[in-house]
Structure 1
Amino acid sequence: MVLSTYSSYLTVNRDMKASLSKVESQAPVKRDTEYYEANIGKVKTVDDLLGDYRLYSYAMQAYGLGEMTYGKAFMRKVLDSDLSDSKSFANTLTDKRYLQMAQAFNFKGDAKVAQSTAQADSTTDAYKASFQTEETNIKTEAAYFASKIGAITNVDDLVNNTRLRTYVLDSAGLDTTFTSKAYLKQVLTSDLADPDSVANQAKNPAWKKLTGFFNFNADGTVNGQAQTADQTEDLKLDYVASMSTYPSATLLDANQRYWDKHVPQVQSAQDLVKDSRLVAYVKTAFGLNPTMLASSVASLMYSQNFAQTYGNTKLLDAFEFSSDGTLPAGTSAQTPAQMSAVAKQYTAEFRKDADKKIADAVTNYETRIAKMTKLDDFFVSNKKDDDKKNDEVSEVWDVALRAFGINPDEVSKSELKKILSSDVTDKKSYVNRLDDDRYVNLVKAFNFTADGGTEAPLTAQSQRMVAQVTADYKAVKLRALTGTAKENASKAADKEIAYYASTIAGIKTADQFLADSRLTKFVLEANGLDPKEVTTTDLRRMFKSDLSDPKSFVNTQSNGKFAEIVASFNFSAKGQLDATAAEGVQQRGAILETTNQYLQQTLEVQQGEQNDGVRLALYFKRKAPEITSPYSIISDKALFTFFKTAYNLPTAIGNIDVAKQADLVKKYIDVGKLGDPDYVDKIVKRFTALYDTQKNGPTSTSLSLLGRSASISADTLLAVAQLRAG
C-alpha cells in the first residue's frame, strides 16, 4: 500500500529526533560528520575551507547549498563578507541561505583589544568603588583603635596587637612591614626631654612626632591613660591624611578639624605655611596652583604689593596678619567669621576637586585603553614636562592597579610587564607563582599575549554569536509587522538588544547568565522558543550537561535547539568560561548547528528521493519559524513551490510583479503565526493533500494554458490564481 504524503511526513516528523538519529547512524553520514568535527578546527582561512572538499561540501550541504558547491569564487565572496556591513556581499543576496552559512564562520575573528568595553567598564567601576572602600576601611580602623586604646596599660599591649601597631605606623607614614616591634617600643617609651633618646635621635622626625601622641613611661607603663582624647583625635587626623589617596568626605572633615585646631595656634603667615597640611588647605580653598611655593602663599596673606602683582587679593581679607606677616598681640590668624567663610570655600573647592579628579582619571583611562594595541602602550605616560594640564591625571596603570587593590609602589613596571604577559591558565606562569589573587584578577581583566600583543577577549559569547542572536531576536519580534506596530516593536527590541549586548559581555559564569531572567528570555525568544515552556531548573540542567555525551540531559531533549543554545556559550559543564569552546573559525555552537543542519538536510534529501512532497513539507516545517515576511517565501524556491502547491496556485504566478506575489502570500498565510506549530501543521496538512491530488490528478487545462501563454497580463494571472485558490 502506498502511503499518502501526509502519512509519510508524519512517520518522519512524529519523532524527529529518532528520524535524525537513524540518518546520523548511516555509515557515510557518520564518517562525513566525524571528519568535519575532527578537522574544522584546523581551518584558519577561507582558502583552507575551500581547499578541503570534504569540509567544504559538508558545510554547503548543511546550509542547503549543495548545488552551488562548484561556485568557489562566489562562495569566497560570501565567506569574506563583513556581516556588520549591511551592504556587504552576503547581506545583499536575496537567498538568505548564503548569509546563514557566512554567519556560521568567523574567519576574521573577534576584535583584538587590550580590554573590551565590558572589561574596561568593570575596571573603572572597581576603580571608582575603591575610593568608597578606602574610606570605609579608614573609618573602620580608626574606630577600632579608638575602642581599644583606652584599655592599653602597657606599651607591649599596643605593639603586640597587629591592627593597633599598623594603625600607629600608618598614621605617621612609617613602614609597617620592616619596622620591628622592639624599635617601635623604644620610640614610644622615649623621653622627649632627653636629646639622646631613641625618638630624638631618629633621622625621620615622624618618629619624634609619634612619641608625642602617647604617654608611656620608660618601662612601658602608663600613669593614667596611654592617650588623652585629644591625642587620639590628633593621631586619627594624621591617620586619615596618611591613608587617604583621594579627597573623600572623611578627609574633608579631618582637614577641616586640623585647620580649626591648628590655625589659632600660628603666630605668623610664615609659621602657618611651615605646616604642609595647612598650606594645602589654603591652596585648595582659594584655587591656587598646587605647585605654588609656600613662601608665595604666605606673601598673599599679608603683602598688599605681592597680592596686587599676583592678581589675587582675596587672601588679604581672609587673615589678620600685619604687613610684615606677624600677628598683633592677642590676635588670632582668623576671626570666627573669616574661618567660617574660608571653610565654605574649602568645602566647595574640595568636593569639586574630588569629582573632577576621579572623572578625569576615568576619562583618560577609557580613552587610552581604547587605543592600545600592545602591552608597551600600557606603560606610556600621559604626563609630559611641558603639559601641566595632564600632570595631575592618573596614569593608566594607576587606575588599573588601584581597581584591583594594588599599590603602585608594590610592583615595578618591569615586574608588572611580566605579570600582564603571563598565561593565567598555566599554573607555572609568572603571575601564578606570585600566589596573589589580585594579580591574577588583574591579568584576567586584560587581553595581552605572551609576546606583548593583544587578543580577542574570552567572553560568554563571541562577538559574532552575539550579533547573530541579536539579529535573530529582532527578526522574531518584527515578524510580519508593518507601520506603527513595526516601529514600536523595533524600539522595544532595540532596548532589549542593547541590554543583552552590554550585559552578556560582563557575564563570567553560567550561573550569572541563568540568574538574569531577562537574558535567558532573550536567548530563548531569539531561537523561536517560548520562555514560559522552559523551566529555570531545566535550563540549569542543560547548561550543566556534557555536550559531548549523547545521553546528557540537553542532548536528550526532543528539540535540538537547546543543545545549540548551550553550545553557543563559551561555558564548560562546570559553568566557567572555557577558551576551547571559542577556538577556531567556528565556535562550537556553530559547529553543532552545522552538523545538525547537515543531518536535517540529508534527511530531507533522502525523503525527497521517495516522495518530494515529504521533502517540501519537512523543509517548510523547519524553515517556518525563520520566515519573517512574504518575501522570505518568494525568495526561496522550495518554500515558494510549497506555497503554490498548498494553495493550488499556477506555476506562472512566479512571472507576476513581486509586490503582487507578496500580497498573495499575505492573503493566504499569516506570517506572524508561523512560530505556532499548530498553525504550521494545518498548512502542512493542506499542502500534502493538494500535493497528492495534483500529482495523481489530470493536468489542469488552465495550468496548461497559463504555462503556454506569454501574453496574459500579470493582473489576469493574479485574478485566475485567486479564483483557483479560493
Structure 2
Amino acid sequence: MTFSPTTLGTGIAGYNFLLRTRATQQAALANSPQVARDTEHFREKLKDIQTSDQLMEDRAMLRVALGAFGLEDDLDNKAFIKKILDSDLADSKSLANRLADKRYLAFAKAFNFAGESGPQLPDGKSAEDVTRDLAAIRTADDLLGNTSLLRATLKTFDLEGDIGNTFFLKKVLESDPTDPASFARRLADPRYAELAEAFDLSDKVKDRNTVYGFASVFADAAATLETPEDLLEDETLLTEALRVFGLENDVYRPDFLDSVLRSNLNDSTSFANQLEDKRYAALAGVFDFHEMAQAALAEEPFTSTLQSFVTTLNARSEPVTTSNDFFSDIKLMLETYKFFGLPSRSNQAGYVNRILNSDRSDPAAMIHGVTDGRYLALADAFRIEEPNTDRIYPPEFADQVVTNYLDRQFEISIGESDESMRVALSMERDLGKVIGNAKGNDSRWYGVMASNLLREVFETVFQLPDSFGTLDVDRQLKELKHRSESYFGTSALEDFTDPDRMEDLRRRYLMQSNLQSSATSSSASIVLSLLSRG
C-alpha cells in the first residue's frame, strides 16, 4: 500500500497540523513497502559501492542517493549524473562546481568518488577524518570520552538510549565478541555483540605487547626505575617489559632476570651477552641499569634507552600503521633499533622493511624464516598490516542519506496535495544551504534567485509579478534587497537564520500564498458562473 499524507486545512493552520503530525506520518512513509525496501537496501549495500559505476548500476541505491539531495527527477539522466559524480571537486571548472544549482555539488561532495579523502558527511567531515578518529580509539574509555563519536556509533547500532550508561557500555566494548561467554555475547540483544565486534577493543586490550601498550604503561615510570629491583618488584611493569620482547614465560625466573638486567653490555663475557637468545641483552639495554649506576657514581646525568624510546614514541600524534610511517620517522626508527638491540648496518632498513611487510598468512613469508627473536619482537610490537584501500563511509553516512531522503519524499508527497506546504516545510533547509554556500550577501541573494523554491518564497511574500524574473539580474537583486529591508527590517539573508525571523518569513509566505490561492479559486468560480449562465 502506497503512502498518502494527511493534511488538515491550508495556510498557517494546515502547516501547524503538519508539524504536529509529521513524525507519525513520516514514520508511516518510512514503513511503506517501496520506501522501506529502498532504504534498507541502501543501508545494506552502501559499503559495497566503491565506484560511481556501481552506484549508477543499482537503481534503488541511486534513487535514494539522488532523492536525499532533491535530485530524484534525474534518476534516468544517467550520463549527466555520472559526470557529476566523477567531477574533480578541486577543479573550479569541473561540471559539479560550475552548475548554479548547488544540490549537484553537495551530491558530488558527499560521495566524492574523484577525491582522495573519500565520502564525507554533509557537515564536511570526511571518511578520512572519521577513520582517523576511529583509529585513535584504543580503549573503551577513548570512545566513551568522545561524545560526538560515541553518539554517532550508538546511533549506527540503534542504541542511542544507552549513551548515559557508561559503565554498561564499557563492559560491552571490552567484551570478546568471539567468546560465547563474554558479557556482550550473553546479552539477549545481538546489537551489543555487534558493537563490541565493530571496535574489537578486547583485541586491542590484548595488544599490550605492542609498543603502544608498553609506552603507555612506562610513560610515567620510565624516569623512576633506577635498579633491577625497581622493575622486578613491580608485577605490571615487569610483565609489560617481558611481553614486548616475547619473553612472558620468564616472569617466574626473578633470579635469572636479575642477572640479565645487571649485565654490563660493554663486556662480552657478561651474563646477558653470553646467552644465545639476543633478546635478553636487548632487554638489559632497554633499562641500562649498569650504565645508570656508573653515571650515578660519577654524578653525571643519564637518560636510559627506555626513557628516550618512550618519549619519542609518545611524541607522535598518530600511531605507526604502515612501514612508510616507520621509516619516514628517522628518530623513531633509530630509537627502535636501539630499543630492540639491533645492529647498525647499511642494509638494515631494507631487511626490516621486508619483515614488517611480510604476509603472516603465507607460510613461505620472510618473517617465518627469521631466527633472531629481536626482529620478530619488533614486527610484533608494531603490527604493520596491509592497508585497506576500500572506500570507507563514515558511520552516519547511510543514516543521514536515508533521513534526508525520507524528509524530501515526505515533502514531495505533501506537495502533491498542497505545494505551498511543501515549500514551507523545506524553505528553512534550502535557505540555510544558500547562506552556508556563499560568503557575501549579494552572492547569497543570487543563490536565492537561482533556487526555484526560494525564489517562489520571496516573490510571493514581496507580492512581485510573474514578470519579475525577466528583469536584469542586478535590478532583481536591488529590488529583493529593498523589499526585504522594507518587510523584515534587514536585507542581510544571514539574519533569516534567526528562528523568529524565519518563522515570520514562513508565516507571511503561507498567508500570501493562501490569499493568492483563494483569489484564483474565486476568479475560477466567477468564470464558471458566467459560462453556466450562457
TM-score when normalising by structure 1:
0.41
Q: Cα 1:53–1:136, aligned 2, differ >3 Å: closer, same or farther? A: same
Find out whether 1:53 has 2:59 as its counterpart.
yes
Distance 1:22 1:8 in 2: 19
Q: Which amino acid aligns with 2:472?
A: I
1:167 aligns with 2:258: yes
**Counterparts of residues 73-472 of structure 1 (less than 5 Å):** 73-83=79-89, 88-107=94-113, 110=117, 135-136=222-223, 138-139=225-226, 141-142=228-229, 162-163=253-254, 165-173=256-264, 205-206=269-270, 243=284, 245=286, 254-259=293-298, 395=333, 398=336, 417=356, 442-443=382-383, 446=384, 448-449=385-386, 454-455=387-388
Q: What do the CA deviations read for 1:465-506 (whole angstroms, capped 9, x no partner)? A: xxxxxxxxxxxxxxxxxxxxxxxxxxxxxxxxxxxxxxxxxx
Whether the 8 Å contact between 2:218 and 2:310 is mirrored in structure 1 is: no
Contact 1:61 1:598 in 2 (8 A): yes
How far does residue 257 in structure 1 lie from its aligned partner after superposition?
4.3
Name which of 413, 424, 430 aligns with 1:617.
Answer: 424
| Match of residue 648 from structure 1 | 463
Q: Which has the larger radius of gyration?
A: 1
**Alpha-carbon distance in 2 for matches of 1:55, 1:241:** 56
Once the 2 structures are TM-superposed, how far is the Cα of residue 381 of structure 1 from its aligned partner?
11
Q: Deviations over 1:142-192 (max 9, x none)?
A: 55889xxxxxxxxxxxxx995455223321258xxxxxxxxxxxxxxxxxx
**Structure 1 residue runs without a partner (length 5+):** 147-159, 175-202, 211-238, 261-342, 383-389, 424-433, 457-582, 700-726
Rounded Cα–Cα distance in structure 1 between residues aligned with 2:314 and 2:232: 37
Query: Does residue 603 of structure 1 match 2:417?
Result: no
Task: Tell me which residue corresponds to 2:511.
Answer: 689
1:122-149 C-alpha deviation (Å, 9 max, x unpaired): 9999898798667436326455889xxx
1:657 deviates by: 2.9
CA displacement at 1:35 relative to structure 2: 3.8
> Counterpart of 1:15 in 2: which secondary structure?
helix
Partner of 1:660, secondary structure, is helix
Deviation per CA, 1:662-682: give whole Å up to 9, x if none.
634753465445444443222
2:104 partner amino acid: Y
Residue in structure 1 matching 2:398, options 565, 568, 591 = 591
Q: Is the 8 A contact 2:264 2:290 kept in 1?
A: no
For residues 42 and 507 of structure 2, the distance between their equivalents in structure 1, rounded to whole angstroms, comes to 36
In the alignment, residue 63 of structure 2 is paired with which amino acid? S
Q: What displacement does 1:638 show?
A: 0.7
Change (3 A) 1:673 1:440: farther
Is 1:645–1:691's contact at 8 Å kept on the other side of the alignment? yes
Alpha-carbon shift at residue 92 of structure 1 (Å) = 4.0
Spell out, residue by residue over 1:169-221, the C-alpha distance to the aligned partner (whole angstroms, 9 max, x if none).
Answer: 321258xxxxxxxxxxxxxxxxxxxxxxxxxxxx97436999xxxxxxxxxxx
Distance 2:336 2:35 in 1: 57
Q: How far is 1:98 from its partner?
A: 0.9
> How many equivalent residue pairs?
375
Partner SS for 1:14: helix
SS at match of 2:270: helix
Taking the aligned partners of 1:30 and 1:130, their CA distance within structure 2 comes to 50
2:34 aligns with 28
Partner of 1:12: 18
Comparing 686-695 with 160-169, which one deviates more in the overlay? 160-169
Say if 1:207 and 1:618 are closer, same or farther in 2 by CA, change over 3 A: closer
User: d(CA) in 2 for partners of 1:208 and 1:693?
Assistant: 95
Q: Distance in 1 between matches of 2:281 and 2:380?
A: 30
Superposition pairs of residues 489-508 of structure 1, within 5 angstroms? none
Structure 2 CA distance, aligned partners of 1:653 and 1:437? 76
DSSP 3-state at the match of 1:3: coil
Q: 1:622 to 1:173 in 2, by over 3 A?
A: same
Deviation at 1:397, TM superposition (A): 9.0
Contact 1:141–1:167 (Cα < 8 Å) also in 2: yes
Residue 449 (structure 2) pairs with residue 634 (structure 1): yes
Give the Cα–Cα distance (whole angstroms) in 2 for the partners of residues 614 and 161 of structure 1: 77
Inter-partner Cα distance in structure 1 for 2:21 and 2:272:
87
Matching residue's letter, 2:226:
K
8 Å contact from structure 2 (residues 92, 98) kept in 1: yes
Cα RMSD of the aligned pairs, angstroms, is 5.6
Counterpart code for 2:49 = V
Separation (CA, whole Å) in 2 of partners of 1:25 and 1:125 = 47
Cα separation, partners in 2 of 1:11 and 1:364, compared to 1, 3 Å: closer
Q: For residues 407 and 640 of structure 1, do their structure 2 counterparts lie closer, same or farther at Cα, with a shift above 3 Å needed? A: farther
> Conserved in 1, the CA contact under 8 Å of 2:356 and 2:379?
no
Is 1:62–1:599's contact at 8 Å kept on the other side of the alignment?
Answer: yes
CA contact (8 A) 2:355 2:379 kept: no
User: 1: distance between equivalents of 2:310 and 2:395?
Assistant: 41
CA contact (8 A) 2:272 2:284 kept: no
The code of the aligned residue for 2:473 comes to D
Partner SS state of residue 18, structure 1: helix
Shift of residue 101, structure 1, vs aligned partner: 1.5
Q: Please state how far the C-alpha of 1:686 moved relative to its aligned partner.
A: 1.1
In 2: Cα distance, 1:420 partner to 1:643 partner: 64
Shift of 1:77: 2.4
| Cα pair distance change 1:93/1:415, threshold 3 Å | closer
Contact 1:145 1:164 in 2 (8 A): no
Q: Which amino acid aligns with 2:454?
A: L
Q: Give how far 1:79 is off.
A: 1.0
Offset at residue 688 of structure 1 (A): 0.7
Distance, in Å, in 2 between the alignment partners of 1:205 and 1:585 is: 55
Residue by residue, what CA displacement relative to the aligned partner does 1:265-297 show, whole Å, maximum 9, x if unpaired?
xxxxxxxxxxxxxxxxxxxxxxxxxxxxxxxxx
Q: 1:63 aligns with which of 59, 63, 69?
A: 69
CA distance in structure 2 between the partners assigned to 1:675 and 1:173 by the alignment: 72
Distance 1:598 1:16 in 2: 15
Amino acid at match of 1:138: L
CA distance in 2, matches of 1:209, 1:378: 32
In 1, the alpha carbon distance for the partners of 2:22 and 2:352 equals 60
* Deviation at residue 362 of structure 1 after TM alignment: 7.7
> 1:39 Cα shift?
3.9
Cα deviation 1:233-276 (Å, max 9, x = unaligned): xxxxxx999945499xx99874444558xxxxxxxxxxxxxxxx
Gap change, CA 1:677 and 1:101, over 3 Å in 2: same
- The answer to whether the 8 Å contact 1:365/1:395 transfers is no
TM score, norm. by length of structure 2: 0.53
Instruction: Indicate conservation of the 8 Å contact 1:83/1:91, yes or no.
Output: yes
Which amino acid in the other structure matches residue 136 of structure 1? Answer: A
Counterparts in 2 of 1:161 and 1:54: CA distance versus 1, 3 Å: closer
Deviations 1:374-424 (A, max 9, x none): x5x689899xxxxxxx9xx6637927x96xxx7769xx959954777679x
